[in-house]
Amino acid sequence: MKDFAHVNATSFDEAAALLAKDNAAVIAGGTDIIYSMKGMNTPNLPDTLVNIKTIADADYIKEEGGFIKIGALAKLTAIAKSSVVKSKATALAEAAELVASPELRNMGTIGGNICQKPRCIYYRNEFNNFPCARKVKGGTCYAITGVHRYHSIFGGVGGCMAVCPSDTAVALVALKAKIVTTKKTWEAADFFKVPNKEFGTARGEQINALDLDEIVKEIQVPVTSAKSTYKKWAFRKAIDFPQVSVAVVKDGNSAEIALGGVYNEPKAFSGVNCADPAKAGDECLAKATGMNTPRADGQADRYSNTYKIQIAKVMVKRAIGSL
């Protein structure tokens, strides 16, 4: 485990100031960041962890001014169980409920969930054994010629084929949520643009566009009459990241759709005509290519991920059909 200092913050501003000063990162539930610190999987790890769990009253869930407002420190379990989220932002409650396992949901916060690091099998390898493009300047992407079974089907961003691992991110994009930070208020779709220009640095490893000294304070989900749902497909039924997931927010025959596990960021489709759910599925996946490189000896690509295209089409169809 990398050696690090641990500082308790009492306010978001204090925490942000600490981040600006040092090579530091915040720690919320710690379910993701401690994993990296232990494995020393990247050279860009922080020297200081600023604990934001000590900030008071930052785990609220309330309805206010046409929004469901959720403090960054709200636990995934609380979101999954919240009656207001379940009834008015169903997709988000369902996404939170499908994250990992009860233990991880009891520790993990929504802030941490939308700021977790990529889950690429090469990126996570201990001791930076695979110093890929995301972690070091001039690095290569090992997944392209290696194992890409779990990777993007819509091409890469900045040469990286990793997918957005967060369940809640997908729901937030489809629900057109806002993310309030210590610096500004983001539209969810902009928030999850990966900073590919900065690949090879700590910021470039993020799954979102936050500055290194910027902290998520609150999530705001607009309350509308539209119905929503989140469906997830993973190899296992628990403790598994989405290989394909879909959030649908349906208003009449028009839907906001976001796909997870298929691209570097939640893949958003706006105003999709969902009168025919199967057609909507085909439409969302029309541009997906997958990664499929038959071997030199003519054998099939063992790591091809084109299966995700088929599964995603069906999931869009079924998600719409369920509403």
Partner 1 sequence: MITLDDSVKLSDYKVLRNPAIHDQSIMKILTGKADFAADHFAGHKYFGAIKCSTIAHGEVVSVDASEAMKLPGVKAVITADDCPVWNKTITWYGQDVAGVVADNWYTAIRALPLIKVTYKEAAASVDPDYAIQEGAPLTGILPNSNIGTAGVCFRDAKTDKRSTSAANNVFDPSTFNECDVIKEYTFGWTTTYPHNELEAHQTTAWWVGDDVYYYTGCQDITSNKSTVANALGMALNKVHAVTHFNCGGFGGKTSDILAPQACIMSKKVGGYPVLCKNSRQMNVLNRGHNFPTRSRIKFGVKKDGNNYKFHACDAEFWSDGGVNSFSPVGNVFFGLQKTYIIPNISLVAYRIQTNTPTRGYWRCVNDPCGAMNYDSAIDKLAYDLGVDPYDLRLNNLGNQSLPDQDVPTMYWGSFPIKEELELAAQKSGYKTKHKMAPKSQTVDDIYHNGDKRWYGIAITGHEDSHGSSSGSGRGGIVKAQTDGTFLVTTASARGCSGGTTVCTNVVAETLGAKPEDVKLGEWGNTDVGLNAGIQAGSSHTISISSAFYNAAIEMRYKIFQVALTKAPFKGVATSVDDLYAEDSVVYLKKDKSVSATFKSLNWGNNIAASGQGWTVGAAGTVDEVGRRNGGAWRSVGNYIKPGQAVYTYGSAAAATEVAVDEETGQVEILHIWNVVDTGTTMFKNGALKEIGCGAEAFHNQAFFYNTVYDPNTGAVISTNYTEAMFPTYMDMKTENHDLIDYESFDAGGPFGCHGIAEPCVTNYSSVLCAIYNAIGVWVDPQMAQMSADRVLKALGKA
Ligand X SMILES: Cc1cc2nc3c(=O)[nH]c(=O)nc-3n(C[C@H](O)[C@H](O)[C@H](O)COP(=O)(O)OP(=O)(O)OC[C@H]3O[C@@H](n4cnc5c(N)ncnc54)[C@H](O)[C@@H]3O)c2cc1C
For partner 1, the binding residues (CB under 8 A) are 1-3, 39-40, 101, 119, 121-122, 124-130, 142, 145-147, 149, 233, 235-241, 277, 290, 297, 299-300, 302-307, 309-311, 314-315, 317-318, 321-322
What residues from 150 to 169 belong to the interface with ligand SF4 (CB under 6 A)?
151, 160-162
Work out how close the CB of 140 gets to ligand SF4 at its nearest, in angstroms, rounded to a whole number: 8
Q: Which of the listed partners (partner 1, ligand SF4, ligand X, none) does 321 bind, with a CB threshold of 5 to 8 Å by partner kind? A: partner 1
* 283 contact, one of partner 1, ligand X, ligand SF4, none, CB 5-8 Å limit per kind: none
* Closer CB to ligand SF4, 75 or 134, in the complex: 134
269 backbone φψ class: left, alpha, beta (φ>0; ψ -120 to 50): beta
Q: How far apart are CA 137 and CA 200, in angstroms?
A: 4
Residues 181 and 161: their CA atoms lie apart, in Å, by 27
For ligand X (CB under 6 A), the number of binding residues is: 31
Collapsing DSSP states into helix, strand and coil, what is residue 61?
A: strand
Find the shortest distance in angstroms from Cβ 303 to ligand X.
21
Asked if 160 contacts 198 with a C-beta cutoff of 8 angstroms, the reply is no
Residue 241 engages ligand X in binding (rule: CB under 6 A): yes
From the list ligand SF4, ligand X, partner 1, none, pick the one residue 149 interacts with, judged by a Cβ distance below 5 to 8 Å according to partner type.
partner 1
304 binds, among ligand SF4, partner 1, ligand X, none (CB under 5 to 8 A by kind): partner 1
The pair phi, psi for residue 207, each rounded to 5°, is: -95, 10
> Minimum distance between the CB of residue 42 and ligand SF4, rounded to whole angstroms?
10
Tell me the three state secondary structure of residue 94: helix
315 binds ligand SF4 (CB under 6 A): no
| Nearest Cα residue to 245 out of 33, 97, 146, 122 | 97
Question: What are the phi and psi torsion angles at 262 (to 5°)?
Answer: -120, -5
CB of 192 to ligand X, least distance (A): 13
27 binds, among ligand X, partner 1, ligand SF4, none (CB under 5 to 8 A by kind): ligand X
Residue numbers 106-135 binding ligand SF4 by CB under 6 A: 118, 120, 122-123, 132-134
Structural contact between residues 56 and 9, judged by C-beta atoms closer than 8 angstroms? no
Minimum distance from CB of 235 to ligand SF4 (Å)? 18
Strand ranges inside 65-193, DSSP E: 67-71, 178-181, 185-187
Q: Which is nearer to ligand SF4, 24 or 161 (CB)?
A: 161
Strands (E), the chain: 5-8, 24-27, 48-51, 61-64, 67-71, 178-181, 185-187, 216-222, 227-233, 244-251, 254-260, 267-273
Would you say 182 or 264 has its CB closer to ligand SF4? 264
Residue 305 interacts, among ligand SF4, partner 1, ligand X, none and using kind-specific CB cut-offs from 5 to 8 Å, with partner 1
Q: Looking at this protein, which amino acid is placed at residue 172?
A: L
Cβ 32 vs Cβ 117: under 8 Å:
yes
Q: Is 40 left (phi over 0), alpha (psi -120 to 50) or beta?
A: left
